[in-house]
Structure 1
Amino acid sequence: MKKIVLVLGSVTALLLGCSTDNQPSQPNIVENLPVGVKLVEQHSGLGEGKVSIPYSKYQLSNGLTVILHEDKSDPLVHVDVTYHVGSAREEIGKSGFAHFFEHMMFQGSKNVADDEHFKIITEAGGDMNGTTNSDRTNYYETVPANQLEKVLWLEADRMGFMLDTVTQEKFEIQRETVKNERGQSYDNQPYGLRTERNGETLYPPGHPYSWSTIGYVEDLDRVTVEDLKAFFKRWYGPNNAVLTIGGDINKQQTLAWVQKYFGSIPAGPEVDPAPKVPVTLESDRYVTIEDQVYLPLIQLTFPTVYVRHPDEAPLDVLSDILGGGKTSLFYKNLVKDNHAVQAVVSHPCRELSCEFQLIALANPAKSTKLAELQQRIEESLLEFESRGVNADDLARTKAGIESSTIFGLQSVSGKVSTLAANETFDGQPDMVDYDLQRYGNVTAEDVMRVYRKYIKDKAKVVLSIVPVGQASLAAKSQNFELPERKIVTDTVHEKVLAPEITDNFDRSKMPKAGPNPNVKVPEYTRTEFDNGINMLTHSTDETPTVTLLLSLEGGPLLDPIEKAGLASFTAQMMNESTLQMSNEQVANQLALLGSEISFGASGRYTQIRVNALVHNLEKTLSLLEMKLFEPAFLQEDFDRIKQNLAQQLQQQLKNPSVLAARATDILMYGENNRLSLPDSGNLATLNNIQLEDVKSFYKKYYTPTKANLVIVGDIEQNQLKKDIQFLTKWRGNDYQIPAYKPFPEYSEGKLYLVDKPDSAQSVVRVVERALPYDATGKHFKSKLMNYPLGGMFNSRINLNLREDKGYTYGASSQFIGGKTLGRFQASADVKQANTGDSIAEILNEIKTFSEHGMSESELASMRSAYSQSEALSYETPSSKANFLNHLLAYGLEREYRDRQGEIIENVTLAELNEIARDLLEIKHMQVIVVADAQKVKPQLSELGREIVEIQVPQ
């Protein structure tokens, strides 16, 4: 059930309050608390049969709430600092501040140099980020357990010692970075302004949700650095924060560190709870966006309640019945009948209010008129009203909740995020069982009641997104104009002073890490069956789940070039009807089990993925057997999929990143190779595919002769052998994967320009063919070599284009290696006005690196990052399954990781720099630009490269 997974948010990442013997776990009580720390609550779980997260809750004298959760299953820790401030706390005219400061928090503090936060965490073998939404901002790190003190030192330094380091220069750079992010994620993306315009229309001026989190460019241009500092001082105090730490921790030591680094930071101003402010509309509001899209979109939005309101749960169930997958009324009435390429219903909820959203992408083969689509949506609502709620509707909901909850048990980060969010918004970290109960108690009468109360005949926002110049396709003429923004806000002119903090230790000294943890590569059992299947299994009882991944080698590489997309099309048909059950019946059975079975084809493989709870595994595998061996291949399913694919391919051509990827493949591999076309093919090749082609592909290539099988979870080997007998008895003929035709050769690097008129940004790629994958050879070493060039946040390319120049939201480079092919690629989405400058900087960074190589300090940084990151590699069943699948795909043994470790430790600077000279030759690299050609050509002509304008085939 999609909405449950998303909106419970916190409910999807939990921990059973049970150990392996099903007894409640007992958090260790810290007997001698550090001075200034008090125990608020000790939560040991809710006992047998209940789902909960054990934790201990403390508070410092400055108001900082601290939550600790022990999980010794992996040698890592996850730290989350959540501040109860998002865009909803901003003033009119100062939108985007919360998100802006998320960026500023990575720009150094009193004892941490500019951009060093990323570098320190990366060298510690960890990963990190920050996120902002309307209601909160959080910063988080996952690191090996021996790095915990260092993370706490870092987070405390930017909480208490940030203001004095916020300079005008940093402010200006990050202001440009935020603008670039808006351009990349909103203005230059099809449908990118949908959420912002919907909020502007639904909420009255001044409502906390009437502007988007990213903010308006004019507001970002208006404010000063002192405005930003004042915002930080108002909201970023310890009394408005929750520090949550989970993983392999020692509570006594952890609390001592927390008090040491956070205890002396003074509390900020008192923060009152934000009032709940749901809205109502007096009449329907119709608005239209003309956008760079091919498929018209309609969205109906009804205002409802707020998160954890008593009516939230039945509204979520209603959204699932109406638009939750193939069992829904929307699928039956819009998608299956080809009136829509996609149709969904959701009920996203936030702290202050919720929205009931009904969305459909029109299928132009039927009609582009959104008024007709709106009519079908409203007819579906009337059908629901007449039909009511049946037993399977509620059963599917409850099974979906159970499944998503238990699958969410698999990562420490998920559990920590759950505790942090629940504490921030409700003051009660473990609300898992409460949430499960309120959804489990929803009745059919509840669902019908909320439908009548919030949806039936109620006023709504109707948003139409149509191609530029085709406003006539909108559902109705626009009857609502956004009111003029009245900016009444004061600019802060006086200098905002940082608080005075006194410590009895030297904060300028970064704590040293403890001993490196002992990381164990997953143990596995290898079995080779006489039908050709190679299987690796790993048993773990951390959660009662099973993940199965079946890979058939070949995939899209087996397509005839004139019918490119056939493997992908066949996989989609495998997700449809069987000889025994209709498409909808199969979907219903899977939903009742809380299981997933999906077929897909990409890259070099056709893959079948199964996720199931242990107690439903046998029934799920029975459904897999039916789907794998008894596909119906109905003409009506084929026609619908083909029509939808055609519309999706048309829409993709509006996406500049897709155009860049397609242009890259054509240049790298030539038009005569299957590799030059996307996995799904293009419009011309799709048109050549017939149902008989699908049947033939299935018969010829769905065989076990080149199959790899990975199973990870709470499994018992003897029972497993019985459960998968249908796979081990499977028989089929072998087949050959076609050889590649010759690739194009280039005597010199050129600049290839794909014209996309009215683009808000430019997409830049610098590419060259490179080495295929190897585990311990030159390709592996090329990835080590690339680390300081473009392989991390603090890389030369990213620091130059993002942090120094403000040209982009992010820039990177990488060596991508597959089984037989490889590629070097540097990429960035950049400001249109600086397209030429950005290309020049990227090429110069590559050239300088090729000529002079990395430094000793960069080598040390790479060694530290790679050698310690293994602690994070095998935490979840999914990550374990991916590792085992990697072994099978490349014929590796688990010991290859030991050999990689030896190479990382012993590779010399001279060897890596020689690889840089060999593989990074800019005169052989091709530059690809997707942009408004008329606007960027004058810049590009100054680069000294021949400019070739190309078109991406439809």
Structure 2
Amino acid sequence: MTSKIKLLLASAAIGLALSACGATDSVTPETQISLPTGVTLVETVSPATGDQVVIPYTKYKLDNGLTVVLHEDKSDPLVHVDVTYHVGSGREEPGRSGFAHFFEHMMFQGSENVADEEHFKIISESGGTLNGTTNADRTNYFETVPSNQLEKMLWLEADRMGFFLDAVTQQKFEVQRETVKNERGQRVDNRPYGLLFERVGEAMYPEGHPYSWSTIGYLEDLDRASLTDLKKFFLKWYGPNNATLTIGGDMDPVQTLEWVKTYFGTIPAGPEHDDPVFEPITLDQDRYISLEDNVQLPLIYMAWPTVHANHPDEAPLDVLANILGQGQTSLLYQSVVKPGLTVQASSGHGCREIHCTLTLLGVANPAKVQKLGDLEAIMREAFTEFEARGVMDDDLTRVKSDIVSGMIYGLESVSGKISQLAAYETYRDNPNGIGDDIARYEGVTKADVLRVYEQYIKSKPAVVMSIVPKGKPEMIAKADTWQRYERTLPDFSGETDEFNWTRPTDPEGLDRSVMPEPGPNNPQIKAPDTYEFSVGDGIEVLGARNTEVPTTTISLRIKAGQSHETLDKLGLAAMTAGLLNEATTERTVEELSNELDKLGSSVSFNGGDTFSTMYIRTLSKNLDATMAIAMEKLLKPKFDQVDFDRDKANALQGIKANKKEASGVASNLFNKIMYGTDNPTAYAGTGTEETVENITLDDVKAFYAAHYSPKIASIVAVSDLDEAAMKKALAPLSQWTGDDVAAAEMKPFPQLSGGTLYFVDKPDAAQSEIRIGKRALPYDATGEYYKSNIMNYPLGGAFNSRINLNLREDKGYTYGARSFFNGDEKGGWYRAGAGVRADATAASIVEFVNEIRSYHEDGATAEELAFTQASLGQSDARAYETPRQKLGFLSRMSTYGLKADHVDEQAKILEGMSKADMDKLAATHLNLDDMIMIVVGDKAKVYDEVAALGYTMVEIDADGNPI
């Protein structure tokens, strides 16, 4: 073990011990608590000692095979519940792809004792948040709620595990089938490069291999599926013996196990399954494939088959991928990013349960690369350079530090801890995986990395995919040498609609139709305690202490950004911040990146509307070393002409590429119409092609000199270190000097033409993007802005809001629809929007309008008000858990001059909100006559139906120019 890693682990153990999140493994045959009948203790892992890093837990088994993992964490009054089923798209059969992902949707649609659309409502009303995810190997469902809601969550999860099938109807099936189609349209078919991984999977794996199709599956398979097919899939895979229930947070283990036994104990076990089997993938030759897509920037992607997750060679292959193409020290950065041949390039070693691939990715700059074959040749030279260069000491130290720090950052939330425990148990039958992972990366040697390169990569065939702009097939790397096959589908005609389901038999006295009440003790929510001091030239610091993990997060905010730009130099703030991420006068960007990676730290700059920000994240033990690098970046930027030219070229290509993204185009145009063309912040932060072309390196230097001043700087910080230690750590800022900076001026906003619909043509779009809204209120923590967001919650703020239930759950038009108020110091707006099926564009506009108009005229119901008060009132239990959440809270306080107790005033406002208050706000702020609409879609498919709605139609391009 290197001294650097020992230092990191010792630091981690100190912090984790404070949060009862630490390490020695001791398996005990006896329990210290009285276990319910049918519950067996498997093992207990205790808190940390020495330099170990482990999440303490206790693991149990129920007689029906359900694995239960409990982790106590009293640091916040909340609990996180995760149910992971060991089934993903890799367990599906040919011709029946997408079933696992489909069930992720279906299992939110109610069960025998939970009514339609009630799952989200119950958890939201409890002050919680929830979701589910599916990948090739597992499906998980999870929720984070105030701690007194735990029994209710276990009742919900058990009901959909044991009492789901009778509640599944054909109507629910059809609606969710449409929702999945919308998700595929939004995330795959309508997104630039969205088909990349599906096509590579087809070429990489033999037909019928479980990874040869994507997780979301083929639409034709879902179209062909019947309700019975889905029920059979459920019975096969969603039994308790194929699941892990992981619970963490502020709970009583004895009571929790009693609830688990009560609600899950009688659910019958499903079929037993063997673990999936790894079969090596061998390619006979390089397989070149290509696709013309609606993209601006050509992309090349190369993938080599390697091993499988948790294979002994996974760790050295990860190190190899890091050396090749991760970060500014990598070989790809040197060969293709730094010379400006690509706007992005990286390497990775993505691992799934039964197979991994090592990949190289390059997104070409078409101003310098006219054929992807040329780029491929240069990227492959990284292997030649690696052979000559070998593996350096810093490579191993850097990668290992990154692994360890990443694990520690992942422990900042109870959900992060629980997700790790659940994953380790699912894939390794052992939740105690962090120590094993650290050990295997600690054990990687230079010889290991060279060996896996020789064994799996050198001179081995790969799948090579080119994605090029439509109409430019000449840009592909090489003519296709592999063709997509016509899938051979099994004959399903002989299958019957019969299936056997054993209904759980509950003990007398258990009535599952009665939803458990919240626990008697409401969580006592308290905003973080804060401290204030100043450093350097009057820089105000607002901080909070977080002793759960040994990390520090700092945001240095300079009140100058896009708002300080001139209209002919839009994008200047972003470009200035970008160059501060490059070299300094003292060191190259590679040297800086290498040092930060070895520390497990990051320092980055970003230019926003109002603020330019330096963001620092580090293990607290390394704060002083990280601050030294941060100060070097802040005070000694090199502003090199070569870096500027590359960043400018990449920015121009990025602007062009963004015009291919329908969602971004719609939102950017909405912002421009709201604030007007005279205000810099009405435009995208990256600027326009014309304005970025105008920017010179001297402009960047001048913007930095004029605006990067401590006179307009402030700091918010969250750390396990106390106030005195933070004062000492931030003392180097006394080196920073600067002049006063005038505040930015906002020009008057334009008059909106209410009732106008602006249309942007996006040929061949599978979906249309809709935005509806108006100007509204600037941010106010306790005024009408805050109250208006409360008012909007049942209309468009919650998952089970009127808008989302209508367009997604009832009609199947969209993957998700929302509305919200957004505001800052300069102003604000109200906006509703969604990406919808192209053939439902006009119908979706009608439904949006109907819901907004109805709410505007009639207001909220008493039930909606009660739901809103319960949901928002209890959500504070999870509002300040992580350092990032605390940092956001402090940032709002700093920006708007708020005191910490403003949350108490907000709570009183929420509690005192009446139906009359809600109705008045809706009547005031939701007048459709004041609103404009934007639609980005395929004109040939949707324009006539949209025009028939009768709105004043104005056709514009992606920049907002009239056509």
> TM-score when scaled to structure 2?
0.96
Question: In the alignment, residue 863 of structure 1 is paired with which amino acid?
Answer: Q
Find out whether 1:835 has 2:841 as its counterpart.
Answer: yes
Could you tell me how far 1:747 is from its partner in structure 2? 4.4
Deviations 1:421-441 (A, max 9, x none): 111111011111110011111
Give the corresponding residue for 1:688: 694
Contact kept? 2:753, 2:932, Cα under 8 Å:
no
Moved more, 612-621 or 686-695: 612-621
Q: Following the alignment from structure 1 to structure 2, what is the Cα–Cα distance between the partners of residues 192 and 619? A: 41
The equivalent residue for 1:508 is 513
Matches within 5 A, 1:193-204: 193-204=195-206
1:754-800: CA deviations, max 9, x gaps?
11111111000002111011011111010000011000110000000
Q: Distance in 1 between matches of 2:945 and 2:242?
A: 48
Of residues 365, 372, 375, the one that matches 2:374 is 372
CA contact (8 A) 1:389 1:444 kept: yes
- 1:952 Cα deviation (Å)? 2.5
Q: Shift in Å at residue 729 of structure 1?
A: 4.9
Aligned position for 1:10: none
Per-residue deviation at 1:703? 0.6
Equivalence for 1:494:
497
The separation in 1 between residues aligned to 2:276 and 2:807, in whole angstroms, is 39
Q: Work out whether residues 762 and 930 of structure 1, in 8 Å CA contact, stay in contact via their aligned partners in 2.
A: yes
Q: Who is 2:666 aligned against?
A: 660
The Cα shift of 1:716 comes to 3.3
Question: Could you tell me how far 1:582 is from its partner in structure 2?
Answer: 1.0
How far residue 22 of structure 1 moved from its aligned partner, in angstroms, is: 10
CA distance in 1, matches of 2:101, 2:828: 37
Find the partner of 2:342 among 330, 340, 343: 340
Are the counterparts in 2 of residues 771 and 823 from structure 1 also a CA contact under 8 Å? yes
Deviates more, 1:876-885 or 1:165-174: 876-885
| CA 1:552–1:481: 2 relative to 1, 3 Å | same
Using the TM superposition, name which of 730-739 and 490-499 deviates more: 490-499
Q: What 5-or-longer segments of structure 2 have no aligned partner?
A: 1-11
Q: Distance in 1 between matches of 2:271 and 2:13?
A: 33
1:614 maps to 2:620: yes
Structure 1 stretch displaced more, 701-710 or 253-262: 701-710
Say whether 1:723 aligns with 2:723: no
TM-score, length basis structure 1: 0.97
Q: Are the counterparts in 2 of residues 708 and 885 from structure 1 also a CA contact under 8 Å?
A: no
The answer to whether the aligner puts 1:438 opposite 2:437 as a matched pair is: no
Bigger Cα displacement from structure 2, 856-865 vs 727-736: 727-736
Report the Cα offset of residue 731 of structure 1: 2.5
Deviation, structure 1 residue 23: 8.7
Separation of aligned partners in 1, 2:489 and 2:25 = 54
| CA drift at 1:46 | 5.7
Residues 1:780 and 2:783 are matched in the alignment:
no
Q: CA-to-partner distance for each residue in 1:280-323, whole Å, 9 max, x for gaps? A: 10111000011001110001100000001011000000000000
Query: Mapping of 1:402-551 within 5 angstroms?
Result: 402-490=404-492, 492-496=495-499, 498-503=501-506, 504=508, 505-514=510-519, 515-529=521-535, 531-551=537-557
Q: Counterparts of 1:26 and 1:864 in 2: how far apart (Å)? A: 41
Matched to 2:791, the amino acid is M
Which SS does the other structure have where 1:705 is aligned? helix
Aligned partner of 1:673 in structure 2 is 679
Aligned-residue offset at 1:529: 4.9
CA distance in 2, matches of 1:669, 1:199: 45
Distance 1:284 1:298, change over 3 A: same
CA separation of 1:50 and 1:535: change in aligned 2, threshold 3 A: same
Distance 1:283 1:16, change over 3 A: farther
**AA aligned opposite 2:304:** F
Native 8 Å contact 2:24 2:54 kept in 1: no
Which residue of structure 1 lines up, in the alignment, with residue 301 of structure 2? 299
Query: What's the counterpart of residue 54 of structure 1?
Result: 56
**Greater Cα shift, 517-526 or 298-307:** 517-526
For 1:883, the equivalent position in structure 2 comes to 889
Answer whether contact 1:399 1:594 (CA < 8 A) is retained: yes
Question: For residue 513 of structure 1, what is the amino acid of its counterpart?
Answer: P
Q: 1:18 — aligned with what? A: 17
Q: Check whether the contact 1:105–1:158 (CA below 8 A) recurs between aligned residues.
A: yes
Q: Is the 8 A contact 1:14 1:414 kept in 2?
A: no
Aligned pairs for 1:119-130 (under 5 A) are 119-130=121-132
1:253 aligns with 2:255: yes
Q: Deviations over 1:589-641 (max 9, x none)?
A: 11111110000011221111101112211111111111111111111111110
2:6 match = none
Match of 2:768 among 754, 762, 779: 762
Amino acid at match of 1:318: L
Counterpart CA distance in 2 for 1:719 and 1:50 is: 25
1:491-529 alpha-carbon deviations (Å, 9 max, x no partner): 654244542222221100000001211112110111245
Question: Which 10-residue stretch deviates more, 496-505 or 457-466?
Answer: 496-505
Pair 1:953–1:337, CA change in 2 (3 A): same
Amino acid at match of 1:887: M
SS at match of 1:874: coil
Give the SS at the match of 1:18.
helix
Q: Is 1:15–1:52's contact at 8 Å kept on the other side of the alignment? A: no
Query: 1 CA distance for matches of 2:23 and 2:199?
Result: 48
- Give SS of 1:709's match: strand
Shift of 1:26: 9.9
CA distance in 1, matches of 2:665, 2:724: 50
Alpha-carbon separation, structure 2, partners of 1:51 and 1:737? 48
- Tell me the number of residue pairs that the alignment of Structure 1 and Structure 2 aligns: 942
User: Do 1:301 and 1:357's aligned partners in 2 also have CA atoms closer than 8 Å?
Assistant: yes
- 1:36-88: CA deviation from partner (whole Å, max 9, x where unpaired): 11111112146321111111111111110100011111111000000000001
Verify the 8 A CA contact 1:775 1:896 in the aligned structure 2. yes
Of residues 139-148 and 524-533 in structure 1, the stretch that sits farther from structure 2 once superposed is 524-533
Q: Where in structure 2 are the equivalents of 1:43-122 lying within 5 Å?
A: 43-45=45-47, 47-122=49-124
Structure 2 partner of 1:224? 226
C-alpha separation in 2, matches of 1:771 and 1:213 = 42
- Which stretch of structure 1 is more off in the superposition, 851-860 or 702-711? 702-711
Match of 2:826 in 1: 820
SS across alignment from 1:348: strand
TM-superposed deviation, 1:21? 10
C-alpha distance 23-403 of structure 1, shift in aligned 2 (>3 A): closer
* Partner AA of 1:422 in structure 2: Y
Distance across 2 between alignment mates of 1:776 and 1:64: 47
Counterpart position of 2:864: 858
Q: What is the rounded CA distance, in whole Å, between the counterparts of 1:89 and 1:440 in structure 2?
A: 33
Compute the displacement of 1:468 (Å). Answer: 1.0
- In the alignment, the residues of structure 2 paired with residue 636 and residue 617 of structure 1 have an alpha-carbon distance, to the nearest angstrom, of 31
For residue 397 of structure 1, what is the aligned residue in structure 2? 399
Partner of 1:9: none
8 Å CA contact 2:18, 2:547 repeated in 1: no
Q: Residues of 2 paired with 1:26 and 1:538: CA distance?
A: 33
- 1:711 counterpart = 2:711: no
Which amino acid is 1:54 matched to? P
After TM superposition, the structure 1 stretch with the greater mean CA deviation from structure 2, 105-114 or 273-282, is 273-282
2:583 matched residue in structure 1:
577
Distance 2:806 2:372 in 1: 45
User: CA contact under 8 A between 1:22 and 1:48: conserved in structure 2?
Assistant: no
Show structure 1 runs of 5+ residues with no match: 1-12
1:780 is paired with a residue of what secondary structure?
helix
CA distance in structure 1 between the aligned counterparts of 2:827 and 2:19, rounded to whole angstroms:
45
Give 1:699's aligned residue: 705
Match of 2:744 among 735, 738, 748: 738
Query: C-alpha displacement at 1:16, in angstroms?
Result: 7.1
Partner of 1:168: 170
CA distance in 2, matches of 1:873, 1:621: 28
